[in-house]
Structure formats: structure tokens, C-alpha cells
Amino acid sequence: MTVFSLLLASPVGRLIRFAADLIDAVLEGRSIAERYERLSHMTQSELTRLGLTRGDLARAAVNGFSATPHRG
């Protein structure tokens, strides 16, 4: 085992990994919130061009969405 591997296996390493995961989760949450905010300010015609309805906003914010119009 390398020194780095030993560090990651230690309690300190687990704490570092936890902190990194927490930061990633917070950044992802902020990104989702910003996406939702941007979508919620769009008009219905703008949303329709994206293939979205108001009911789709939460899903689109969490899962992302294609900026190309939806063609049925």
C-alpha cells in the first residue's frame, strides 16, 4: 500500500472524502436551484419551444433538459 492509500483508508481520509462528497452535493444542489430559477422565469411559449410545461420544471431542473426544441 502506498502512503496515499493508507491516508484514504484512515479516519482522516474518510473525513476528507466525506467533505469532498458534501461539497459536491452542495454544488450540485445549487446548480439544480439555479436551473429551476432560470426555467421558472421563462414564458410558456419559451418553455414550449424547449418541449417543457410548467409541470416539467422540477424534473428538468434535476435531470437537466435539452435546449433543442422537442419534436413530436
- pLDDT, residue 9, reads 76
pLDDT surpassing 80 at residue 21: yes
- pLDDT, residue 12, reads 84
- Between the alpha carbon of residue 50 and those of residues 2, 19, 43, 56, the distances in Å are 50, 36, 11, 11
- pLDDT, residue 62, reads 95
DSSP string, 19-69: HHHHHHHHHHHHHHHHHHHHHHTS-HHHHHHTT--GGGHHHHHHH---SSP
- Are 38 and 31 in contact, with CB atoms under 8 Å apart? no
Q: What is the pLDDT of residues 35-71, one digit of tens each?
A: 999 999 999 999 999 999 999 999 999 998 755 444 4
In angstroms, rounded to a whole number, what is the distance separating the alpha carbons of residues 36 and 41? 9
- pLDDT, residue 29, reads 97
Entry pTM: 0.71
